[in-house]
Structure 1
Amino acid sequence: MAKANNNRAISLNLVLMLSLLIFISMAESRILGAKKSTPQCDAVIGVESGDTCFDIAEKFQLTTEFFDSINPNLNCDALFVGQWVCVDGAAN
């Protein structure tokens, strides 16, 4: 019985220590200014039938890296007609 209680106490202490380490690392990243930058979009277009991310980037003379940086949540494999896509801006 005492051994079971000891194992439970050790497990609980381990969970608490890991939680504390995660909390400290999250707080430390905020203190050090590690924040995710948000891109700035200055112009958008609506996706037309047959458009691909590569076609749109090429049409507006953008590199694929820059296009991806100003459209960070865009799933290029699931574009749909009428979807708004940023074609000018700053990646910050």
Structure 2
Amino acid sequence: MANSSNSTATSLNFVLMLSLLLFFSVAESQFFGEFLKPNPTPVCNSIYGVQTGYICFNIKQKFNLTDELFTSVNPNLNCTALFTGQWLCTKGALQ
């Protein structure tokens, strides 16, 4: 009888350990998953060459773009350093 209860206790301990391991791995992936997600990649579907005298404001107005969309599809753009002929994305999304 002692051997049978020892075997049962060992089995229960094993199931408990597996359950805890599964619980913590799921909890950790949900907690750290937000921090480990890669940044979305901008995808450009249409481009525009900057005209002489144009600033970011003019381009956003011309193509009816929100600040958020314009910035998201042109992530490294410095609006204070635009130059004539510079290519900008005017239509796109984040993936």
Match of 1:87 in 2: 90
How many pairs align? 63
**Aligned partner of 1:40: which letter?**
V
Which residue is 2:68 aligned to? Answer: 65
- The match for 1:47 among 47, 50, 70 is 50
Task: State the Cα distance separating 1:91 from its structure 2 match.
Answer: 2.5
* Fraction of identical pairs, as percent: 49
Q: Which runs of 4+ in 1 moved over 4 A?
A: none
Q: What's the CA shift for 1:70?
A: 0.8
* TM-score, length basis structure 1: 0.63
Matched position secondary structure for 2:84: coil
Give the Cα separation in 2 of the matches to 1:64 and 1:57: 7
Q: Name structure 2 gaps, 5 residues minimum.
A: 1-28
Counterpart CA distance in 1 for 2:87 and 2:69 is: 16
Could you report, residue by residue, the CA deviation over 1:25-62 in whole angstroms, capped at 9, with x for unpaired residues? xxx9xx83410111110000101111111110110011
Matched residues in 1 for 2:79 and 2:92: separation? Answer: 18
- Name structure 1 gaps, 5 residues minimum: 1-27
